[in-house]
Amino acid sequence: METDQLIRTLAADSAYRARPVGMVLALALLAAAPVSMAIFFASLGVRPDLMSAMHNPFFDLKFAVTLALAISAIAVGLHLSRPQASLRGWAWLLLIPAGLLAGGIASEMMLPQRLPMMTRLIGSNSRVCLTAIPLISLPLLAAALIGLRHGAPTRPAVTGAIAGLLSAGLAATLYASHCTDDSPLFVATWYTIGAALVAAIGALAGSRMLRF
């Protein structure tokens, strides 16, 4: 086909309007959320002392951290779905959850504790945490990749890693309501390893799926 013919054809198709990337991403995540929730409720469920745990600020902090991770990763991911985008000026958004966590660790250090530091860090759920976060996040990761694929990311591996952080943030928000380890030290260690795992899977999948 001659290039002039192709141009004529593209102009004939100019009325077609694609949905914005943000909308496709939102729809995909909404479709995947019930799957992740089903996995969560079927295998773990919320902890029995949920109502009293909510009075513990360190329990609540877990949700602030995981939601901050999810929201900032959504913002960065949508930014990277434009072809000329780079991480510069945007990567700091991902420091918000880290900052919240650091603040939590600092305030826990200043309070008297019943358990020694290492005991709080190792906790009693680390293995569940490391399995649950990646498992719950997989449907969300697939959705995030489908959503971002609708954009034009020119850095597919980085964008895939961000999709991983996004889905890990959402998955960890669910998981946090099950986990009885509320110490920010536990969150900083095991949640981070879980999220990094999902980010690595996302980078790998993204480097294939997110090319256009």
Interacting residue ranges for another protein, rule: CB under 8 A: 1-21, 81-84, 151-152, 154, 211-212
Looking at the Cβ atoms of 75 and 130, the one nearer to another protein is 75
**Burial tier of 25 (Cβ tally within 10 Å: 0-12, 13-18, 19+):** buried
Looking at the Cβ atoms of 47 and 155, the one nearer to another protein is 155
CB 86, min distance to another protein, A: 10
CB 79, min distance to another protein, A: 11
Please give the Cα distance from 128 to 117 (Å, whole number): 20
CB 212, min distance to another protein, A: 6
CB 26, min distance to another protein, A: 15
Nearest to 140 by CA among 211, 58, 202: 202
Looking at the Cβ atoms of 22 and 103, the one nearer to another protein is 22
Give start and end residues of each alpha helix (H) in 44-82.
50-53, 57-80
> What angle do helix axes 126-149 and 156-176 make, rounded to 10 degrees?
130
Taking phi over 0 as left and psi of -120 to 50 as alpha, with beta for the rest, 19 belongs to beta
Looking at the Cβ atoms of 42 and 84, the one nearer to another protein is 84
